Amino acid sequence: MAVEKTKSILVVGGGISGITTAVEAAEVGYEVTLIEKNPYLGGRVNQLNKYFPKLCPPNCGLEINFRRIKNNPRVKFYTMAEVEKISGTEGDFDVTIRLEPRFVNENCTACNACVEACLIERPNEFNFGMDKTKAIYLPHDFSFPLRYVIDEKYCTKEKCNKCVEVCTYNAIDLNMKPQSLSLKVGSIVWATGWNPYDATKIDNLGFGTYQNVITNMMMERLASQNGPTKGKILRPSDGKEPSRIAFVQCAGSRDENHLPYCSYVCCLASMKQATYIREQYPEAEIFVFYIDIRAPARAERVYMKALKDEKIKFIKGKVAKIEEDPTTRDLTVTAEDALTLQKIHEKADMVVLATGMAPITRESKIPAGVSYDTDGFILLNTGVAGMYAAGCSLKPIDVYSSVQTATAAALKAIQSASGGVRR
Amino acid sequence: MAEQVISPDLGFVKDVIASGGESLKKCFQCATCSVVCNLAPDDKPFPRKEMIYAQWGLKDRLISNPDVWLCHQCSDCTAYCPRGAKPGEVLGAVRKLAIEHYSFPSFLGKAVGKPQFLVLLFAIPVVVLFIVLALLGNLNLTAIPRGEDGGIVYAKFMPEIYIEVIYIAVSAFVVFSFVMGIRRYWKDMSVDKKGQILAAGSILGTIASIIGEILAHKRFEKCELTKERKISHFLVFYSFIGLAITAAWGVFYLYVLHRESPYPLTDPMKWLGNAGALGLLIGITLVVIYRSRNKEKAGIGSYFDWLLIVVIAAIAVTGMAAQCLRLAEVAVLAYPVYFLHLVFVFFLFAYAPYSKMAHMVYRTVAMVFTKHAEKGVEIVTKAG
């Protein structure tokens, strides 16, 4: 080797893709630093009730990965961390990481005494605002690391001090300050992931105005055991059990006014969610309004099964209008059935918008000169030697495909970091 | 399902694209348009089906389709279209082709829709009016006799009787042309409805209710993105009515009361005329302002749209200017401007069956037919 290279790798984003890249690289002997913006690892997968291909709950895929991280001394991970600055070149990057204060240290045993003492509430963004947590909270039941966190925006700190008083483990430190961390790495993998498209921007579908219009990710939370309704699907306005549910496919997708592309997973996600409803409410009527159903590869089977289900009605026509009865909060969705040439007005207790995936990099670019496509996804060839991308920062894909891109990124990152055989 | 043979008319597809429907092929049939359209009925709503008919070149399903005219181009469809396929503009192009298709004689229909014939079309009134002026010996503008008070009198430049003969002849031709067009259009629509129309009751009642609706501009109220269009169209529409009354009033003065023009500005007829001209000017200016303001979401419109807008604006401007120049006694400008005014009025009238002006006839007929046919369908179902 001509030049001594730093044999370490930085992975940005601790979702399923970032975790996969980190453990894959670490398990073949590389030093990996994994950073995550949220106070927990696992990313969006945590928020799902079940996920494809096996329709297992998130812990079935994440738990083993968390175990791999815990058992491997080569993986260091930081939550509430973001990249601030990068300089250098492939094999020799200098990275500055900013660590936001958690206000809770390693002493935390998750005993919950602080939460019981805390008087301040905040909307729970993990459940898309459908319930509240205290200002000190555990992000979710399955949080890794299993440690509480204080939301600085809501906590009044020393003025209140109640949590500090009840904590018998000295785990709460209200004076924690943001920290800076400098790293030398050979390569960087961006696994920055996605946000659900902001449905309030779709002004004809009433999201944000009509309480019973929810997004598909909110439906995942409603169906989850650790969700706001403990897994019982109830409509938000009055907690009623829904008997007629409409799914609006391509809500803000394949639409030049919103996300111009197809997010690939939403058709299948709606069919999956139809099964959640069918399990809880066998008599419920389900309507799926679509432009065309995109059920790639093995998903075809799921679609065929849904087609045979007499309680699931597929209507070829995009919903472009939703109205609410202000007294009952019931909804009427309107679409043109392109097969019968009739405008139909279907009543529904609840409407699920199948919103797509917007890459995080659509809104906020990463502090490096990587290239993006017109939709804000990072290009597979990032344009910067030693930098790679994985998962939904590349394109909208499912968990299974994300893991494939993550493994690929791990291999490329190893080659950059080792300065050895490559490409 | 019964087998259907689709025979696309590729020339028609090209015509739609050339007439302002260039976005046609972007449509992927999601049907957002039919839902956001407040004018589309629940039964067979438009414009989604029209978009696929147009993509497939199904000319016969579009040309005689009254739905094409029930569209008032609110452009809510265009604003919400996820693909930028601009259904509003495409239907505008189809309407243009429908006017062309039913026009009589058809060569005029083709000529009005194409920019390369514009000069020729203007040349006709210019030449006709020029010949009249030459025969009257009025080409030397300084030699044209003045009125008793020394003021400019347009009647001495171009006596009313010549204008009347020319414009009455033109009007007769226009009416004939429209009648021919409507007959063919109505026949085609009836064939599509398979004779159900025959079951309907009195057509006069339907016509009266549709005219009432048009006078009140009810359908424009349903537009969302372009709701202010109700104001501009309302102004232009009623200004034209006011100006038509003014013209009739003038004829009454001249031939019944034997009062010669020009009439003083204090005359109620002049009040109405000037109010009409001002209304027309404001209305057409608003049309231009609203179109420009909404061009991102609604599209800017086609040559066919703008030809009518420009001609109407030119009539208003030259009309007002002719009056002002006459009163200011700027003879060297007054006569040419008045001449231009006559040319633009000729253009609007003579080419009405072929220009976008024909929308007032075809849209009315389509609205009457639809309402009438609905009744027909109702009677048939009840009887069955």
Q: What is the torsional sign of CA A301, A307, A311, A316?
A: positive
Q: Could you read off the pLDDT of B85-133 as tens digits, one per residue?
A: 999 999 999 999 999 999 999 999 999 999 999 999 999 999 999 999 9
Name residue, tokens 């897994």: A231
**Would you say residue B38 has pLDDT above 90?**
yes
Q: Which CATH class is domain B10-103?
A: mainly alpha
The fraction of chain B above a pLDDT of 90, given in percent, is: 84
SS3 label, residue A165: helix
| CB-based contact A341 B42, cutoff 8 Å | no
Where do the domains of chain A lie, and which CATH numbers do they carry?
8-100+178-195+358-418 (3.50.50.60), 113-166 (no CATH), 198-355 (3.50.50.60)
| B362 close to B99: Cβ distance less than 8 angstroms | yes
Largest CA distance in chain A: 75
Sheet holding A179-185, edge to edge: A81-89, A92-99, A179-185
Give how far B303 is from chain A: nearest CA, Å: 26
pLDDT score at B63: 95
pLDDT bracket for residue B140 (50, 70, 90): confident
**Would you say residue B177 has pLDDT above 90?**
yes
Nearest to B29 among A257, A335, A338 (CB): A338
**Would you say residue B215 has pLDDT above 80?**
yes
pLDDT bracket for residue B381 (50, 70, 90): very low
Nearest to B82 among A257, A319, A341 (CB): A257
- Tell me the chain A residues in contact with residue B225 when contact means C-beta distances shorter than 8 Å: none
pLDDT score at B379: 35
What's the mean per-residue pLDDT of chain B? 92
Nearest to B36 among A254, A316, A320 (CB): A320
pLDDT bracket for residue B11 (50, 70, 90): very high
Give how far B27 is from chain A: nearest CA, Å: 11
Q: Where in chain B is the domain with CATH 1.10.1060.10?
A: 10-103
Closest to B64 in 3D by CA, of B143, B169, B181, B151: B181
| CB-based contact A341 B82, cutoff 8 Å | no
| A361 close to A256: Cβ distance less than 8 angstroms | no
| A11 close to A75: Cβ distance less than 8 angstroms | no
Mutate which of A318, A321, A346 to disrupt the B interface (most B C-beta within 10 Å)? A318
In angstroms, the CA B66 to CA B185 distance is 9
| B11 close to B34: Cβ distance less than 8 angstroms | no
**Six-digit token pair at B56?**
């497939």
**Would you say residue B174 has pLDDT above 90?**
yes
**Six-digit token pair at A273?**
């969610």
pLDDT score at B194: 60
Q: Give the contacts of A364 (CB within 8 A, at least 6 positions apart).
A: none
> Torsions phi, psi of A322, nearest 5?
-130, 130
Mutate which of A333, A343, A345 to disrupt the B interface (most B C-beta within 10 Å)? A343
Q: Could you read off the pLDDT of A250-277 as tens digits, one per residue?
A: 999 999 999 999 999 999 999 999 999 9
In angstroms, the CA A89 to CA A6 distance is 11
Which amino acid does the sequence have at A322?
I
**Six-digit token pair at A201?**
């921007």
ipTM, interface predicted TM-score of the complex: 0.90
Residues of chain A under the 50 pLDDT cut: 1-3, 422-423
Nearest to B45 among A204, A255, A343 (CB): A343
pLDDT bracket for residue B197 (50, 70, 90): low
Residues of B at the A interface (Cβ-Cβ below 8 Å)?
28-36, 40-45, 48-49, 80, 82-84
Q: Could you read off the pLDDT of B50-60 as tens digits, one per residue?
A: 999 999 999 99
- Tell me the chain A residues in contact with residue B35 when contact means C-beta distances shorter than 8 Å: 317-321, 334-336, 343
Indicate left, alpha or beta for A386 from its phi (over 0: left) and psi (-120 to 50: alpha): left
Mean pLDDT lowest for which of A258-267, B184-193, B293-302? Answer: B184-193
| CB-based contact B35 A250, cutoff 8 Å | no
Q: Could you read off the pLDDT of B12-32 as tens digits, one per residue?
A: 999 999 999 999 999 999 999
Mean pLDDT along residues B324-329: 95
Which amino acid does the sequence have at B338?
Y
In angstroms, the CA B294 to CA B287 distance is 11
pLDDT bracket for residue B1 (50, 70, 90): low
In angstroms, the CA B361 to CA B374 distance is 20
pLDDT score at B199: 47
- Tell me the chain B residues in contact with residue A258 when contact means C-beta distances shorter than 8 Å: 82
**3-class SS shares of chain B: helix, strand, coil, % to 5:** 70, 0, 25
User: Cα–chain-centroid distance for residue A83?
Assistant: 19
pLDDT score at B196: 55
Q: Give the contacts of A314 (CB within 8 A, at least 6 positions apart).
A: A288, A290, A293, A306, A307
Please state, as a whole number, how many other Cβ atoms lie within 10 Å of the Cβ of residue B7: 9
